[in-house]
């Protein structure tokens, strides 16, 4: 598999960043989480004046063989239909990307449809039309997994070459909450039941059937339970591409805005490959999928927002961006007590 040399940012700059933040014209700590975010971005970028440049949002799309077991209320064709919606600009991710000035990249990683390869609106990285059904066999081969990792990394290199230093990632793939639940179960040793939510089914009627199918899939698995094998056996192409994208973004010292349940589990998987990826992660929100708060707690992650989202696509990450932008404006635009000769009032 492609190797990622990810550096932990040098900690020598942290006290200097903290001193600058503490001496802005405000009571110490009074801007709360903005101060933490500014410090993290300054630490990542190794500067007292961090910047957010040319933000990009990647949506990886792919289908899953487990969909044939009816573990989602939504039929598989919704993946392709929503991909078309992304291209027409009518999805949730589109209005948020427009609002916050993100360049949107839509990637076909394994959609179960023959797409027009001349359509330049799509980044064509299809590995196969849908993964295999992991109730009975591995979702992908080792070669396909490696290809997905490399494809995700390639997409990030393209964004970086365009001057992007802050990246949001989203996904589209019917039943990918099922794959995420199994990843989380193995990687955190949390019971499968606690990891399994209703996904797109807001009524929860499908939950018992979904849990039964996933339980049987876990029982049938005979691999070595290593993170790499769990990724290969139960993953989706769009999820593995996301893991590759996150690792490459961290290697390039980019800020990674993490979305909801699925993207948090992709960050969890990425951290099992190289733990230093976590230093570059900022968590956009805590969603309503049942296991999301457990995964966030496992990662010791502090999400910016809690808005009851469960859409995916990267919408929560995009919604959180203005808060991150405010943190950067704070550290760069506020005066210090010394600058304006205000007596410290704390």
The one catalytic residue in 12, 313, 325, 333 is 313
Q: With DSSP H G I counted as helix, E B as strand and the rest as coil, what are the percentages for the chain, rounded to 5?
A: 50, 10, 40
What pLDDT score does 1 carry? 79
Q: With 90 as the cut, is the pLDDT of residue 73 above it?
A: no
Q: With 80 as the cut, is the pLDDT of residue 342 above it?
A: no
Q: Are residues 16 and 132 in the same domain?
A: no
What pLDDT score does 339 carry? 86
* Residue 12 per-residue DSSP state: G
Q: What angle do CA 12, 17, 20 make, to 5 degrees?
A: 140
Label the pairing between strands 122-124 and 56-62.
unpaired
What pLDDT score does 281 carry? 98
* Residue 173 covered by a domain: yes
- Encode pLDDT of 180-212 as tens digits: 999 999 999 999 999 998 766 666 678 899 999
Kindly indicate the confidence band of residue 345, based on its pLDDT and cuts at 50, 70 and 90.
low
- Residue 18 belongs to domain with CATH number: 1.10.1610.10
Q: With 70 as the cut, is the pLDDT of residue 138 above it?
A: yes
- Encode pLDDT of 228-277 as tens digits: 999 999 999 999 999 999 999 999 999 999 999 999 999 999 999 999 99
Q: What is the mean pLDDT of residues 95-118?
A: 97
Q: Are residues 24 and 72 in the same domain?
A: no
* Residue 346 covered by a domain: no
* Residue 94 covered by a domain: yes
Contact call for residues 267 and 281 (beta carbons, < 8 A): yes
Token duo for residue 249: 């973004």
Which carries the bigger pLDDT value, residue 245 or residue 73? 245
Q: What is the mean pLDDT of residues 23-38?
A: 96
Which carries the bigger pLDDT value, residue 289 or residue 97? 97
15-19, 71-75, 137-141, 239-243: lowest mean pLDDT where? Answer: 71-75
* Dist CA 50 CA 8 (whole Å): 17
DSSP secondary structure string, 250-304? HHTT-EEEE-SHHHHHHHHHHHHH-GGGGGGEEE-B--SSTTHHHHHHHTT---S
* Residue 258 covered by a domain: yes
Q: Are residues 115 and 194 in the same domain?
A: yes
Mean pLDDT of the chain: 95
Q: Are residues 43 and 82 in the same domain?
A: no
DSSP secondary structure string, 89-124? T-SHHHHHHHHTTPEEEEEEEE-SS---TT-TTEEE
Look up the domain containing 23 and give its range: 11-51+330-340
- Strands of the 281-283 sheet, one edge to the other: 122-124, 103-110, 56-62, 166-172, 255-258, 281-283
Structurally, the chain folds into a number of domains equal to 2
Q: What is the mean pLDDT of residues 88-98?
A: 96
Q: How many residues does the chain have?
A: 346
**Catalytic annotation present for 313:** yes
């Amino acid at each position: 598999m492609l190797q990622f040399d990810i550096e932990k940012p040098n900690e020598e700059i942290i006290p200097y960043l903290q001193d600058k933040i503490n001496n802005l014209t405000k009571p110490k700590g009074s801007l709360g989480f903005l101060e933490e975010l500014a410090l993290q971005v300054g630490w990542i970028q190794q500067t007292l004046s961090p910047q957010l440049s040319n933000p990009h949002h990647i949506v990886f799309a792919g289908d899953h063989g487990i969909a044939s077991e009816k573990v989602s209320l939504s039929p598989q064709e919704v993946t392709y239909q929503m991909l078309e919606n992304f291209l027409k600009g009518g999805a949730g991710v589109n209005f948020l990307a427009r609002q916050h000035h993100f360049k949107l990249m839509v990637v076909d990683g394994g959609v179960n449809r023959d797409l027009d390869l001349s359509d330049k609106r799509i980044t064509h990285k299809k590995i196969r039309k849908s993964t295999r059904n992991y109730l009975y066999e591995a979702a992908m081969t080792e070669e396909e997994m490696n290809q997905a990792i490399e494809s995700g990394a390639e997409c990030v290199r393209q964004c970086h070459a365009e001057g992007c230093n802050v990246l949001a990632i989203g996904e589209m793939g019917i039943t990918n909450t099922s794959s995420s639940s199994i990843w989380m179960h193995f990687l955190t040793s949390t019971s499968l039941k606690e990891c399994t939510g209703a996904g797109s089914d807001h009524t929860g009627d499908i939950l018992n059937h979904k849990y039964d199918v996933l339980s049987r899939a876990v029982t049938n698995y005979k691999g070595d339970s290593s993170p790499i094998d769990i990724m290969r056996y139960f993953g989706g192409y769009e999820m593995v591409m996301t893991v590759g994208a996150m690792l490459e973004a961290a290697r390039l010292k980019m800020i990674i805005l993490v979305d909801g349940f699925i993207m948090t589990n992709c960050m969890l998987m990425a951290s099992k490959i190289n733990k230093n990826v976590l230093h570059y992660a900022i968590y956009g929100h805590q969603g309503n999928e049942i296991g999301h708060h457990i995964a966030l707690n496992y990662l010791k992650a502090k999400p910016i927002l809690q808005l009851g989202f469960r859409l995916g696509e990267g919408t929560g990450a995009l919604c959180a961006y203005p808060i991150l932008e405010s943190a950067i404006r704070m550290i760069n635009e506020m005066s210090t007590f010394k600058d304006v000769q205000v007596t410290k009032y704390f």
